[in-house]
Amino acid sequence: MATPPSDPSNQEAVVRRKSNGPPFKFLVPLIYAPVLPLIRLSLRHRPVLRDRLFTAVLAGAFAHGFYLVYPFSIRLLHCYATWF
């Protein structure tokens, strides 16, 4: 009798395609890090615009960092919750 086709030991392994490109989500700080000092230097004579733009870019940087760390923080909180 033949084994059923749903038997995982008899199925071919699924080949996953490896991404050869750079992980762009980790390269974003290379864009906004030099922008922060440029905002401060280039908008010296417009302090209101300078402060608002600087705050917006800095908030975006923190949001991006939270986006990168969020999956790890959920796992960490789950580990702490199981201990208590």
Q: Give the pLDDT confidence score for residue 38 in this predicted structure.
A: 94
Q: Which portions of the chain are predicted below pLDDT 70?
A: 1-17, 19, 72-84
Q: Report CA-CA distances (Å) from 73 to 14, 44, 59.
A: 31, 38, 19
Q: Give the pLDDT confidence score for residue 17 in this predicted structure.
A: 66
- 8-state DSSP, 4: P
Q: Give the pLDDT confidence score for residue 37 in this predicted structure.
A: 93
pTM above 0.85, yes or no: no
Q: Give the pLDDT confidence score for residue 32 in this predicted structure.
A: 84
Q: Give the pLDDT confidence score for residue 55 in this predicted structure.
A: 96
Q: Give the pLDDT confidence score for residue 51 in this predicted structure.
A: 96
